[in-house]
């Protein structure tokens, strides 16, 4: 038997509420919901007894009405699995989790993201994920000799941190991947500098907002200093770009997603990454408060639909 759910109290999962926590709390209050900020580190599981399997601080008598996932803290493999298991368990007990633990798993793992995009026939840069240095070197050698450039990324990473551009075999030999895994991608030649890509926010299956990110550096994340500007669908982004972003979010089964789009030198659109816990402060600075309003409205719709 499933335990009762609160009628109006929801959890925002985050270790650093900050600006995002404030706008979510304010927006949810406007719909009659109280937002409680909690870390997954403070939750635990209990099976085999009379309890409802998952313990969420402040929700001893009933489960939350829903959970908005704003952050999953890093840690050891066991710690991260436990935190995701909390999300899985809440969903199994009928609590709407926005995004689900499975969606977070798919997006935080860049290798799985690349595979899922490819299976869904969504164009994405050619990617290789290899453990052994010798195998990675043997793969990179002919590509680099042919004048191609490669990007090494951490398998788990965000905000443009830990990226390296490899332009020669000497550069490859001088590079060490994070945690022993070579996640290598073809560098998408975009005719820069300046370099530009686009972040598209997809909510409940629909691309709602977008911005361009422009930088003199090939890394175009806002956190790395890129200039952000609102992008208009139908003017800056055509129907192909919009559809690709929506299909990418669908391929990873996400309630909301930050989809990064690239355009190569021949004008073809590619999906670079799909972020399952995207920050949207920069996007809102470019596009206005309708960004947060759209996220809150979609979450509330899930709550009222009951799942």
Structure confidence by residue, pLDDT tens digits, 81-115: 999 999 999 999 999 999 999 999 999 999 999 99
290-305 vs 18-29: helix crossing angle, rounded to 10:
60
Burial class from Cβ neighbours inside 10 Å (0-12, 13-18, 19+) for residue 304 reads exposed
Euclidean distance between CA atoms 87 and 68, whole angstroms: 10
| 196 SS3 class | strand
Can you give the pLDDT of all 307 residues of the chain as single tens digits? 577 888 899 999 999 999 999 999 999 999 999 999 999 999 999 988 767 889 999 998 899 999 999 999 888 889 999 999 999 999 999 999 999 999 999 999 999 999 999 999 999 999 999 999 999 999 999 999 999 999 998 888 665 567 889 999 999 999 988 788 999 999 998 887 888 899 999 999 999 999 999 888 777 777 667 788 999 998 889 999 999 999 999 999 999 999 999 999 888 999 999 999 999 999 999 999 999 999 999 999 999 987 6
Q: According to the model, what pLDDT value does residue 98 have?
A: 96
177-206: burial string, b at 16+ Cβ within 10 Å, e else? bbeebbbbbbebebeeeebbbbbbbbbbee
Q: According to the model, what pLDDT value does residue 90 have?
A: 95
> Within the chain, what is the greatest distance between any pair of CA atoms?
64
The proportion of the chain whose per-residue pLDDT surpasses 90, expressed as a percent, equals: 75
Euclidean distance between CA atoms 197 and 222, whole angstroms: 11
Question: Is 38 in contact with 57 (CB distance < 8 Å)?
Answer: yes
Q: According to the model, what pLDDT value does residue 226 have?
A: 78
Ramachandran angles phi, psi of 111, nearest 5°: -65, -45
How distant, in Å, are the alpha carbons of 57, 87, 132, 266, 281 from that of 69? 16, 9, 35, 37, 16
256-280 pLDDT, tens digit per residue, is 999 999 999 888 999 999 999 999 9
Q: How many CB atoms lie within 10 A of CB 103?
A: 23
Cis, bond preceding 249 (omega within 30 deg of 0): no
CA nearest neighbour of 203 among 151, 306, 278, 305: 278
Domains, the chain, ordered by start: 9-101 (3.40.50.20), 127-186 (3.30.1490), 191-295 (3.30.470.20)
């Amino acid at each position: 038997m499933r335990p009762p759910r609160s009628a109006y109290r929801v959890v925002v999962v985050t270790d650093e509420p900050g600006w995002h926590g404030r706008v979510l709390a304010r927006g949810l209050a406007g719909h009659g919901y109280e937002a409680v900020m909690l870390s997954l580190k403070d939750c635990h599981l209990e099976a085999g007894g009379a309890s409802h399997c998952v313990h969420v601080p402040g929700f001893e008598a009933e489960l939350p009405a829903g959970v908005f996932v704003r952050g999953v803290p890093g840690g050891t493999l066991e710690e991260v699995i436990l935190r995701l298991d909390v999300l899985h368990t809440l969903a199994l007990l009928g609590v709407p989790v926005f995004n689900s633990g499975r969606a977070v798993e798919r997006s935080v793992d860049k290798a799985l993201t690349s595979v899922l995009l490819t299976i869904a026939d969504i164009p994405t840069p050619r990617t290789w994920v290899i453990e052994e240095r010798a195998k990675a070197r043997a793969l990179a050698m002919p590509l680099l000799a042919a004048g191609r450039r490669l990007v090494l990324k951490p398998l788990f990473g965000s905000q443009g941190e830990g990226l390296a551009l490899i332009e020669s075999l000497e550069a490859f030999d001088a590079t060490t991947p994070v945690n022993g895994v070579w996640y290598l991608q073809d560098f998408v030649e975009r005719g820069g500098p300046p370099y530009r890509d686009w972040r598209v926010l997809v909510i409940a299956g629909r691309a709602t907002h977008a911005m361009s990110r422009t930088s003199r550096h090939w890394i175009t994340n806002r956190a790395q200093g890129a200039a952000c500007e609102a992008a208009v669908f139908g003017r800056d982004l055509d129907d192909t770009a919009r559809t690709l972003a929506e299909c990418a979010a669908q391929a990873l089964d996400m309630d909301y997603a930050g989809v990064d789009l690239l355009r190569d030198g021949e004008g073809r659109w590619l999906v670079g990454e799909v972020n399952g816990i995207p920050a949207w402060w920069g996007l809102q600075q470019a596009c206005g408060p309708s960004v947060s309003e759209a996220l809150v409205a979609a979450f509330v719709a899930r709550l009222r639909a009951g799942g």
